[in-house]
Amino acid sequence: MNDIPPTLYTFSVSHYSEKIRWTLDHAGIAYREQRLVPFFHIPRILALTRRATSVPVLEAGAEVVQDSTRILEWLERQHAPFTLLPADPALRAEVMELEARFDRIGVHVIRQLFAETMRDKAATLALWSQDANPLQRRALSLAYPLVRRGFSRLLQLSPGTMRKAVARIDEAADFIAERTQGGRPYLAGDRLSAADITACALLSPLVCPEEHPVFGAPAYRRTVRMRAVRWDDHPGFEWVRGVYREHRGVRRA
C-alpha cells in the first residue's frame, strides 16, 4: 500500500461527500480532504477524471475513483476487512441494495432544499462559498442570476418535480421508521453499515444534525427551516439524528 494518504475532493455542502467523509472517518482510514468551490471545481475534477465533474472523487496514487458507491467498493478492496460492507454475501447484498435506495434520494433532497433557497441570494451564496476565496465569492455574486438559472435547469425544478421530491422524501422517512421500529438501531445487520451512513448523509441537508459542520450550524438551520418542517418530528428523521449523535461525534473543520 502507498503510505501517502489518498486525497478526497469534496464540497462542504455535498451530502454525497459527507457520505464518504463519514465512511473514511468511521473506518479510521487516513486521508486528506480538498474542499472545492462549486462551479470553480470543474477544471480540477475534469483534469482528474476526464469524464465528469461530480464529487466526491478519491485520488490514491495513480488511481482516481469517482462516485460515492465506486469509492465504497474501492475501499472494500483496498482496506479489508472493511466492516461497513459486510463479509456475509446475503447481508452485503442487502446493504448495497439499501445504499442504492438512499443514493437515489439525493437529487430530491437537493430539489427540496434549493427550490426556495435560491430565491434568497445571500443564503444560497453562503452555502456555495463555504470554502471560496474573496475573488471566487465576488464572481459567484456577480454571476448569480446566470448560475441560478443553470442550476435550476440542472435540477429540472418544476411543480411536478417538487411534488415528486416531497413524495420521495416522505417514502424514505417512512421506510426508515418502519425498518427501525421497536428500537432497531440499524437498517441492516447488527452494526453500522454503509446503508446507515448513506441514509443519514443523504438526508442530512434536511435533518440538520448538530454534528454536521455546515448542516448543523444555526444559520443554516434557520435557512432551511420551512423546507424541512414537514419532517421535523418524523421518527425516520429522529433516527437519523440519533445515528449522527452515536456515530458522528467528530466534525472535521
Q: What is the DSSP letter of 240?
A: H
Q: Cis peptide before 56, with omega less than 30 degrees from 0?
A: yes
Mean pLDDT estimate for the chain? 94
Same domain? 37 vs 109: no
CB 209, CB 249: distance < 8 Å: no
In a domain? residue 91? no
- Say whether both 202 and 118 belong to one domain: yes
Classify the C-alpha dihedral 81-88-243-54 as positive or negative: positive
Picking from 83, 114, 130, the residue at the C-terminal end of a domain is 83
Is 196 found in the same domain as 139? yes
Does one domain contain both 34 and 129?
no
- How buried is 170 (Cβ within 10 angstroms: 0-12 exposed, 13-18 middle, 19+ buried)? middle
CA-to-CA dists, residue 248 to 23, 123, 191, 210, 223, angstroms: 10, 26, 14, 10, 23
Q: Among residues 55, 83, 111, which one ends one of the domains?
A: 83
Cβ neighbours for 41, distance < 8 A, ≥ 6 positions apart: 9, 11, 53, 55
The predicted pLDDT at position 183 comes to 94
Please indicate, yes or no, whether residues 46 and 142 belong to a single structural domain of this protein: no
pTM greater than 0.85 (yes/no): yes
Q: Three-class SS of residue 53?
A: coil
Q: Express each pLDDT in 164-212 by its tens digit.
A: 999 999 999 999 999 999 999 999 999 999 999 999 999 999 999 999 9
Q: Are residues 71 and 122 in the same domain?
A: no
Q: What residue has cell string 441494495?
A: 97
Rounded Cα–Cα distance for residues 238 and 232 (Å): 8
Q: Do the beta carbons of residue 15 and residue 106 sit within 8 Å? A: yes
Range of the domain at 78: 7-83
Q: Per the domain annotation, does 225 fall within a domain? A: yes
Among 114, 184, 120, which residue's Cα sits nearest to residue 151?
Answer: 114
User: Are 163 and 235 contained in the same domain?
Assistant: yes
- What CATH number should be reported for the domain holding residue 36? 3.40.30.10
Neighbours of 108 (CB within 10 A): 23
* CATH code at position 136: 1.20.1050
Are residues 24 and 127 located together in one domain of the fold?
Answer: no
| Model confidence pLDDT, tens digit, residues 79-134 | 989 999 999 999 999 999 999 999 999 999 999 999 888 889 999 999 999 999 99
What is the H or E stretch that residue 48 is in? helix 42-49
Same domain, yes or no, for 152 and 183?
Answer: yes
- Number of structural domains in the chain: 2
Q: Which of 58, 83, 108 is the last residue of a domain?
A: 83
Let me know whether 148 and 192 are in one domain. yes
Question: How would residue 223 be classed by pLDDT, with cut points 50, 70 and 90?
Answer: confident
